[in-house]
Every structure is written in C-alpha cells, then in structure tokens.
A and B are shown apart, each in its own frame.
Chain A
Amino acid sequence: MVAQHIAFGLTAFAMAVGAVRVVTTKNVVHAALWLMLVLAGVAANFILLAAEFVAVVQVLVYIGAIVVLFLFGIMLTRAPIGRDNDLDNSQRLASLVVGLLVFGLLASVLSKQYGRVHIHPGTIQRTSDVAQSIFTQYVIPFEAVSVVLLAALVGAVVIARRD
C-alpha cells in the first residue's frame, strides 16, 4: 500500500509540473515534450490502477504517435525555434480565473462525494477480459470508432493535400 502511494505521489507531482509547463512554456517544442511527460505519467497511473493494456496502448498511441504528430505539426507550421514571447493571448487572467473556478467546482464535488473511498485494484485485469467486453458488449461502439478512424484518415488526407 505504502509503495503504491509513494509511486502515485511521485507520478502525480511529475504530471502536475508537466501539465503546468505545457500551458506556460514559451517554447513550442518544449511544450510538446512536457506533454510527453504528462502522457507517460498517465500511463504509469494506469499501471497503478491495474489497467496494463490501456497503459500500453496509451504509450503506443499517445506518446508514440500523437506527440510525433504534434512535432510534425510544429515543424510544418514553421514554429519559431527557441523562445517566442507571443504564445499567450490577452485573456490570461480571465482564463486563470475560469480554470480555478473549474478546479474548485470539481474539487468540492469530489471531496464531498468521495471523501473516504478506497480502491482496491485486486487481480490484475486480463487483456482477454477487456477484449471480451469490447467484442461482445461494446462491439457497435468499436465498429463506430473504426469508422471514425477511417474518416479521420481520409479527412486528414483530403484537407491537407496540396493541389
């Protein structure tokens, strides 16, 4: 128990720092890299929650593909390398307030509702159970998601092609 707490604490701290740096850094590439740290932290949390398949998928897809996509996007849009002072717009303060408001709301609700609830992730969930659930109960969303991916693929090609 204690080990998991410590592990969670460490990952949470890293993620928090990383998230804050994503939205505050003045270097676009650094933001992508901080994002990668956050994503890794999320995968670690997944493992802590005994959802190893999701964790692995997270690493594969998010870190492996999406962050790379972001870097490609940054490169293709000629983002200035190095410091750029114009990355925040004029409503920073209002946004901070809104963010704090949202966090306050969520925090108050959560603390009220789930104050003393414990999780006991028991047996490690097998991938086969996940697969079982996907392909029997949630097969229709699965098919829908595949269509979405196809559409996204085609759409991205159509939108971004040069002609």
Chain B
Amino acid sequence: MLLNEFLFLGAFLFATGVYGVLARRNAVLVLMSVELILNAVNINLVAFGAFRDSVVGQVFALFVIAVAAAEVGVGLAIVLLIYRNSRSIDLHDVDVTMKG
C-alpha cells in the first residue's frame, strides 16, 4: 500500500473538518467537525507508525483518543450551559458582535 493513500485520506478529512469548523452555525456541529480533524490526525499517526515499523504511532493515537474524549465531554458541558443561559446554541447569537 502506498503511504500516500492514507495521508491523502487524512488530509481530506482534515480539510473537511476545517470547513466544518468555519462554516457551521450549530455549536455541536462545530464539535463534530473538530472530531473529524482529530481522526484525521490519528490516521496520520498510525500510518506513519506502520511506515516506521514502530509502535509509537499507535501509542500516540491512543492518547489522542483519550484527550478527544475528555474534550468532547467538557465541550458539550459548556454548550449545555450556553443553551441554558441564552436558549440558543446558534453561534451568531454567542458572537460578541461589535456595535456599529
């Protein structure tokens, strides 16, 4: 298998994730896009680990998974709080828009 296959796949997922972070209005959807990015990174890590015949790639992928889980937990807690305060998780409403 070509290394590049996995890397390109990772790159595509990353770019899609970037698009999602920038273009989505719903906070939860933004968090989902962040998950896409993280998974793209994971694919890269493991692919390079296999390329190098080293187990380090997998180790770090595990760490990333763990951190991602923590992050989603806290992130969603914050989203819930925002929803409780302003009855909406539309990022337009959360923005600190300059007046005038």
Using a CB–CB distance below 8 Å, which chain A residues touch chain B?
1, 4-5, 8, 12, 15-16, 19-20, 22-23, 28, 31-32, 35, 38-39, 42, 45-46, 48-51, 53-54, 57-58, 61-62, 65-66, 69-70, 72-74, 76-79, 86-89, 91-92, 94-96, 98-100, 102-103, 106-107, 110-111, 114-119, 121-122, 125, 129-130, 132-134, 138, 141-142, 145, 148-149, 151-153, 155-157, 159-160, 162
Contacts and interface: CB of A to CB of B under 8 A. Distances in A.
Contacts of A118: 1-3
A117 B2 contact: yes
A70 B89 CA distance: 14
B4 A98 contact: no
Contacts, number: 244
Interface residues of B, number: 71
Contact of B24 (A20, A87, A94): A87
A76 B29 CA distance: 14
Interface in B7-53: 7-9, 11-20, 22-29, 31-33, 35-36, 39, 42-43, 46-47, 49-51, 53
Interface of B: 1-9, 11-20, 22-29, 31-33, 35-36, 39, 42-43, 46-47, 49-51, 53, 55-59, 61-63, 65-74, 76-81, 83-84, 89-92
A159 B85 CA distance: 12
Contact of A72 (B11, B33, B76): B76
A53 B32 contact: no
Given A49-B6, A91-B23, A19 B11 contact: no
Nearest to A118: B2
Contact of B36 (A22, A65, A79, A92): A22
A38 B12 CA distance: 12
B28 A19 contact: no
A50 to B, nearest CB: 6
15 contacts: A12-B9, A23-B16, A23-B19, A23-B24, A23-B29, A48-B1, A49-B47, A51-B57, A61-B65, A66-B72, A89-B24, A114-B4, A149-B70, A152-B69, A152-B74
